[in-house]
Structure 1
Amino acid sequence: MTFKSGKIDLTNQTAIVTGASGGIGRATAIALAREGANVVASDLTSVDETVLLIKENAGNAIGVKCDVTKKEDIQNMVRLAVETFGDISILVTAAGVCERTGSDDISELEWNFVQNVNLKGTFLCCQAVYPKMKENGYGKIVTVGSIAGKVGGVISGPHYVASKGGVHAMVKWFAQDGAPHNVYINAVAPGPVRTNMTEDWPYRDEMSPLKRLGEPEDIAESVLFLSSQASNWITGITLDVNGGMLMS
């Protein structure tokens, strides 16, 4: 079967979005629902506001608490998604942490924490939905990487850089393995984005040629594109979404 690219229409598709309590995750959940997807919004903290915003705009969503470092939490999230909406068509892994500690001061505990959330958590989520997508003959997975994983960091520490670089590399493996089954996996690599996580960080508008920081919606619309049938000849890429800070 050939899947030609077409206009965005996610009607009757089910999307899981991790890290959906705010920032990029929330904006992505809202964008996917706007285009017709049934959204399973998950996070360690409450996603009630995200679900409410979706429903206020006539969208369909449920929330679930999920620690992406725990396989049993992820399995429960996937089970709930299937029981509520049916098969899963889309996964967006937006859950993540960012630390700025320099190499001399990073403890093993902090190193492991960052890798467990950003890299292991992304893998476990992909692992949980991937067999079903292959069985169904279709699926879209979008992971949230970072410009830091490409350029070695802007302000973030080496453990964050390593975790996001790992995400970018892992995307290529899944993309090659999933291609015969029409399972697409890509990443987005945001530059500095204005979220609660970065509000105290010394980012400046003039750091990018477009002279502004990114907003969560800037990333969400790119994720939407990669999650939809508009990108049916794109797999295995890390899309730069950074206002021109990195041009490749």
Structure 2
Amino acid sequence: MAASAAALSSRPYDLTGKRILLTGAAGGIGRATASLLADLGAELVLTDRVAAPDLLAGLAGNGRSHRFIACDVTLPSQIASLCADAGAIDALVLNAGIFPTSQWTDDAWDDDFEAAMTINVRAPAHFARALLPAMKARGSGRIVLLGSVAAHTGGTYAHSPLHYAASKGAVHTMVRWMARRAAPEVLVNGIAPGSTDTAMVATADPSALKAMPVPRFGRPEEIAWPIAFLCSPGASFICGTTIDVNGGAYMR
């Protein structure tokens, strides 16, 4: 997979020859990301908790062997099994996450808090633990974690749940923690989406976005583009950064 500096400068976003593992692949951002990564030349190992028969059929092939492996990310044993079966991974996109809507006054809050921390925080840590050592040993790799604007703001909406914002704050911390230990061989970065038009915000009121500089929901592909960038040679000097993709909802 080695390439000259001249070749990389002319094709900085080309993912040809890269095997990328993407979690949460059946959701809105996951599907958009899978499609884009395949279009850019990557070979994909996709996972979600349930099978998605139509997912692979929509991906550009060109002789590549994309795979889907169902995985319950609440179970470390299934994560370990998936990572062992995936083969050598060049980039890991940790997109799987949940957005429980219970408030801390609700009876379900304790269970939802535990689920948010398990899926949004512990699961990506297990994936990284399983795959990072081999990436470092091979001398290259990328890890991209999905955070959220909620980690900066405490939630875009007044009803945004504590457990979601707290879990994504932990993800942002994990980006920095892992980046210091993974570099220089492996570059770890994050994406912090704002409100994006997926099932996660199905009950959100679009009128709350009117005051934003870009007053609308983001589209899944608008999150996929910077994810793919961070997997590419073009991001070769980006390390420990979480890129805000939120239409100006939060600026720093």
TM over 0.5: yes
CA distance in 2, matches of 1:234, 1:134: 17
Cα distance, 1:60 vs structure 2: 4.1
Cα distance, 1:74 vs structure 2: 1.3
- CA deviation profile, 1:147-198 (whole Å, cap 9, x unmatched): 0011111132111111000000011011011113x20011100000001222
Say yes or no: does 1:170 pair with 2:174. yes
Residue of structure 1 equivalent to 2:197: 194
Residue of structure 2 equivalent to 1:134: 136
Q: Which amino acid aligns with 1:183?
A: V
Normalised by the size of structure 1, how large is the TM-score?
A: 0.91
CA distance in 2, matches of 1:80, 1:53: 23
Cα distance, 1:225 vs structure 2: 0.5
State whether residues 42 and 66 of structure 1, in contact with CA within 8 Å, keep that contact through their aligned partners in structure 2. yes
State whether residues 118 and 163 of structure 1, in contact with CA within 8 Å, keep that contact through their aligned partners in structure 2. yes
- CA deviation profile, 1:5-44 (whole Å, cap 9, x unmatched): 7411111110000000121111111111111110011001
Q: Which amino acid aligns with 2:120?
A: N
Cα distance, 1:55 vs structure 2: 4.3
- The correspondence of residues 17-166 of structure 1 with structure 2, limited to 5 A, is 17-55=22-60, 60-82=65-87, 87-105=88-106, 107-155=109-157, 156-166=160-170
Cα distance, 1:70 vs structure 2: 1.4
CA distance in 2, matches of 1:109, 1:120: 15
5+ long unaligned stretches in structure 1: none
- CA deviation profile, 1:105-152 (whole Å, cap 9, x unmatched): 253211101110100111111111111111111110001100001111
207 and 192 in structure 1: CA distance in 2 versus 1, 3 angstrom threshold: farther
| Number of residue pairs matched by the alignment | 242
Normalised by the size of structure 2, how large is the TM-score?
A: 0.90
CA distance in 2, matches of 1:61, 1:68: 20
Cα distance, 1:67 vs structure 2: 1.2
Cα distance, 1:207 vs structure 2: 4.5
What secondary structure does 2:210 align onto? Answer: helix
What secondary structure does 2:183 align onto? Answer: helix
Residue of structure 2 equivalent to 1:206: 210
Please point out which of 160, 183, 186 is paired with 1:183.
186
What secondary structure does 2:30 align onto? Answer: helix
Cα distance, 1:206 vs structure 2: 2.0
5+ long unaligned stretches in structure 2: none
Identity %: 36
Cα distance, 1:71 vs structure 2: 1.5
160 and 239 in structure 1: CA distance in 2 versus 1, 3 angstrom threshold: same
State whether residues 10 and 35 of structure 1, in contact with CA within 8 Å, keep that contact through their aligned partners in structure 2. yes
